[in-house]
Amino acid sequence: MAARGYWQAFQVVEKSIGRVLKGQNPGTVAEQDHRDWYREMFAPSVAAGILKPADLAGYRSGQVYIRQSMHVPLNREAVRDAMPAFFDVLTKETDPAVRIVLGHFIFVYIHPYMDGNGRMARFLMNTMMAAGGYPWTVIPLPERKTYMACLENASVGENIGPLTGFLATLVEKRLAGAPLPDVPTSTRAVGHE
């Protein structure tokens, strides 16, 4: 189910990226479309009766905690104020590299949904990458610990440098022709958040 939902969300993200490549503001596109990405990601769970459609409406209604992290995301009331402010900043930002790093980081820092925030942030990151002319970039499973440590350093240690360097290295590898990691189908849903 997780793989199906990811594929369905990816199809919607591709359409969003198409709009960005036609010149629409990437922050505006992400603001308009991110809820559709989220609904598609969890649509198989709705179809299976695990979730109700109402579970996917709006942002989270409770507090959420991140496993193995000292960062405690914003409370639910703050999320409703933070998300419009986040998209306002993302829409106004003109530097593609800043949109990529801060767009990804601030989304996971706010953690607006009960589940799927990391996947959503990576969809958002790649939408911003497309706007800057960068290739689709994934976080390879063997790099997950480094990735999570960089996010922790940014959110708890207030140091965005390691995350910036980590993402830049991944983009450089893709620009140098490194293929996307070959991830066996059975492990694609492992470690999702």
Helices and strands (H, E) in the chain, number of each type: 7, 0
Q: Which of 64, 153, 167 is nearest to 124 (CA)?
A: 167
Model confidence over 102-154: pLDDT tens digits? Answer: 999 999 999 999 999 999 999 999 999 999 999 999 999 999 999 999 999 99
Q: How far from chain centre, in Å, is Cα 77?
A: 21
Instruction: Name the nearest CA neighbour of 97 among 125, 120, 138.
Output: 125
Answer for the pair 95, 133: CB distance below 8 angstroms, yes or no: no
Domain residues of the chain, as ranges? 2-181
Question: Where does residue 155 rank: exposed (0-12), middle (13-18), buried (19+ CB within 10 A)?
Answer: buried
Instruction: For residue 36, name the pLDDT band (cuts at 50, 70, 90).
Output: very high
Catalytic residue from among 34, 71, 111, 192: 111
Amino acid residing at 74 = L
pLDDT at residue number 182: 61
124 and 104 Cβ atoms separated by less than 8 Å: yes
Q: Identify the CA nearest to 132 among candidates 98, 106, 102, 172.
A: 98
Distance (Å, whole) CA 180 – CA 193: 20
Q: Give the up-direction half-sphere exposure of residue 74: CA atoms within 13 A in the CB hemisphere.
A: 19
Tens of pLDDT along 155-188? 999 999 999 999 999 999 999 987 776 644 433 3
CATH topology of domain 2-181: Fic-like fold (1.10.3290)
Residues in Cβ contact with 124 at an 8 Å cutoff, skipping those fewer than 6 apart: 30, 34, 103, 104, 107
Question: Catalytic site residue 111?
Answer: yes
